[in-house]
Structure 1
Amino acid sequence: MNTKTRKIIVAIIVVLVIAFLAFALPRLLDVVKTKAAVEPDILSGLGGKASYEIVNIYPHDSDCYTQGLVYENGLLYESCGLYGKSRLRVAKLEGGETLREIEIEDKYFAEGLTLLDNQLTMLTWQEGTAFIYQKDDFTQTSTFNYSTEGWGLTTDGNALILSDGSNTLYWMDPKSGLVVNEVHVTLEGNPISMLNELEFVNGEILANVYLTDTILRIDPGSGEVLTQIDLSGLMPDANKAKLGEVLNGIAWDKKTGRLFVTGKNWDVLYEIQLVPAIP
C-alpha cells in the first residue's frame, strides 16, 4: 500500500469517526441527562401504613392559611386562603424570608397551587376560577373556569390534577381547564373523601385528608390508596385549640428527594422522611 492510499484511508476513517460522534454524542448526553434527572425514590417500601422522622424544621408564615405549597430551587411558593386574606407568596426555605407576594381580591378564597412550565396555577374555592401567573414576577397571564369546588392542585408534568373535597381527582387541561380524566379514590374498596392539598411524587399522588393528620399515597391510575401516612404529633401546640388550623401543605424537592409539610397558620415547616410504620 503506497503512501497516497494510506492517506486516503486515514482521511476516510477520520470522516467516519467525526460523523459517528456528531450523531452519537448528543444522544449519549441525553441519556446522561436523563439518568441525572431521575427522581429519588422516597415512596417504595412503605407498605400499607407509614410514619415519619423529622429531618429539619424551618420557619413558616403563621399568617398564611396554607392552601397550596410548591418547592423549587430553594424557594417555597404558597397560596394562602380565607376571604379578605387570600394571597400568593414566595419565600426562601432557609430563613423563611418573603421575597414577593400579591393580594387576591376579597371575593376570592385562594386554594390549591401548582407549578408547570414556569407558570403558577392557583385555584379558588367556590368561585370556579383558576388564575395563572408568571412564576418570576407573579404577573397574571390568564384564567380559566371549572365546574367543581377547588381544593388541592398538582401536576403530573402534563395535566393539572384537582381535588374538590370529594373522593374524585380530576385531570385537567392546563390552559383551558377542560377535564380529560377522573379517578375515584378508594381504600379497600371504600370511597375516601375530603382530599385536599396534593403533590405528585414518584409518579404517585400524595394527598392531605382535610381535618386529619393523615396523608394518603394514591395510585393515579386506579385511585387505590397504597399507603396511609400518619403525621400526628407535628401540629404546634398553638394551633391545637383553633378550628381548622390543621395539617395542610405538601411540597417535594425532585432533585434531592426532600419532602416538606406544614399546616394552616403554623409557624413551622417540616422536612420529613417517610418510614414504614412499626407494627
Structure 2
Amino acid sequence: MTFGRALLGALALVIAGCAAAAPAPAPAVERLRPTVLAELPHDTGAFTQGLELAPDGRLYEGTGLAGHSRLRELDPATGAVRREVPLPGELFGEGITVVGDRIWQLTWQDGVALEWDRMSLTLLRQVPVAGEGWGLCRAGDRLVRSDGTDRLRFHDPGSFAETGSVAVTLDGEPVTEINELECVDGQVWANIWQTDRIVRIDPADGHVTAVVDAAGLLDDERRADADVLNGIAALGGDEYLLTGKLWPASFRVRFTPA
C-alpha cells in the first residue's frame, strides 16, 4: 500500500511537471484589411519586387524580369520615377532594402545579391547567395530574406553572410511562397505570392501574428492587365504604401480590423 501510494505520488508529480512545461498557446491571429487613405500613380511597366522608404524620405523600388530589371528612386508624393539604373546583363531583380548609404538587392535564381551606393545608384559588388532571392528587409542588425519557401533567412548587413533561419507557420501550418518583405518595429510584413494576403510574422519564432486581406484594393477593370499584389513600404506611424507588379496605382493605407 505504501509503495502504491508512493508510485501514484510520483506519477502525479510527473504529470504536473509535464503540464507546467507545456508551451503557452499562440496568441490569436489578428484579421486586418487595408483602409485606403490616398492613391498614387504607378508605372505599369514596373514588375515590382521591392519597395522601401529610406529614413531620409527617399522612396526606392526594385523591379524584375531578366534583361529589364531596374533599381529606381521614386518621388514619394507622386510616384514618378526620379532616376533609375539597369541591373547588369540578364539578372532578374528581386527584393531590396536600405542599409545606411547602401542598398542591397536580391536576384531571383542568379545566385547573387547586389550592393549599390544609394546616392549615386552605382553598383559596388556582387555577393554569392545560396538559394533563391525573393524579398528582403532590414531588422536592426540583420537582414531578413525570403526565398519562396516557408523560411525566413537572416543575413549580416555588411557581408551578406547567412546567419540563421526560422520556419514560418500560421495556426501550426507552414506558410510558403513568402515574397516581398518589410521590417517594422521588430516584425516582418510579407506579401504571399499569388494571393491578396499580407501577413505579419514574428521573426523570433516564425509565428504569423496578423493576416491582411487586401482583395479588391485594385478594382477588376484595372487589375485585368496587372499582375499580383507585391510591394509594401512603411511610411511611418501606422501607414503603408502598397502596390503590385505592373499595377497602375499605389495605395497609401492604414491596416484596420476586418
Verify same fold: TM over 0.5.
yes
What is the aligned counterpart of 2:36 among 54, 59, 75?
Answer: 54
Partner residue of 2:100?
A: 117
CA gap 1:167/1:124 in 2 versus in 1, 3 angstroms: same
Question: Which amino acid is the alignment partner of residue 130 of structure 1?
Answer: A
1:70 corresponds to which of 52, 58, 63: 52
1:97 matched residue in structure 2: 80
Q: Which structure 2 residues correspond to residues 65-214 of structure 1 after superposition, within 5 A?
A: 65-72=47-54, 73-214=56-197
Root-mean-square deviation over aligned CA pairs: 1.8
CA distance in structure 2 between the partners assigned to 1:194 and 1:226 by the alignment: 17
**2:250 aligns with one of 262, 266, 269:** 269
CA–CA separation in structure 2 for the residues paired with 1:82 and 1:169: 23
Q: CA deviation at 1:47?
A: 5.0
> Cα distance, 1:236 vs. partner?
4.2
AA in 2 matched with 1:217: R
State the TM-score, normalized to the length of structure 2.
Answer: 0.85
Match of 1:38 in 2: none
SS at match of 1:253: strand
Contact 2:222 2:248 in 1 (8 A): no
Deviations 1:90-124 (A, max 9, x none): 01011222111001134210000000112110000
Q: Which runs of 5+ in 2 are unaligned?
A: 1-27
Q: Deviations over 1:113-145 (max 9, x none)?
A: 000112110000000111111111101122211
Distance 1:275 1:133 in 2: 36
Contact 1:79–1:111 under 8 Å retained in 2: yes
Q: Which residue of 1 aligns with 2:211?
A: 228
Contact 2:239 2:255 in 1 (8 A): no
Residue-by-residue CA offset, 1:165-211 (whole Å, 9 max, x unaligned): 00100001123222111010001111010000000112100000001
Between structures 1 and 2, the one with greater strand share: 2
Whole-angstrom CA distance in 1 between matches of 2:82 and 2:168 = 37
TM-score (norm 1): 0.79
Q: Distance in 2 between matches of 1:234 and 1:130?
A: 31
Higher helix share: 1
**2:197 partner letter:** T
Tell me whether 231-240 or 259-268 shows the greater mean CA deviation. 231-240
Compare 97-106 and 177-186 and name the one that shifted more.
Answer: 97-106
Equivalent pair of 1:90/1:101 in contact (CA under 8 Å)? yes
State the number of aligned residues.
231
CA contact (8 A) 1:62 1:266 kept: yes
Of all paired residues, the percent bearing the same amino acid is 37
Structure 1: runs of 5 or more not aligned: 1-45
Asked whether the equivalents of residues 70 and 93 of structure 2 are also in contact (C-alpha less than 8 Å), the reply is yes
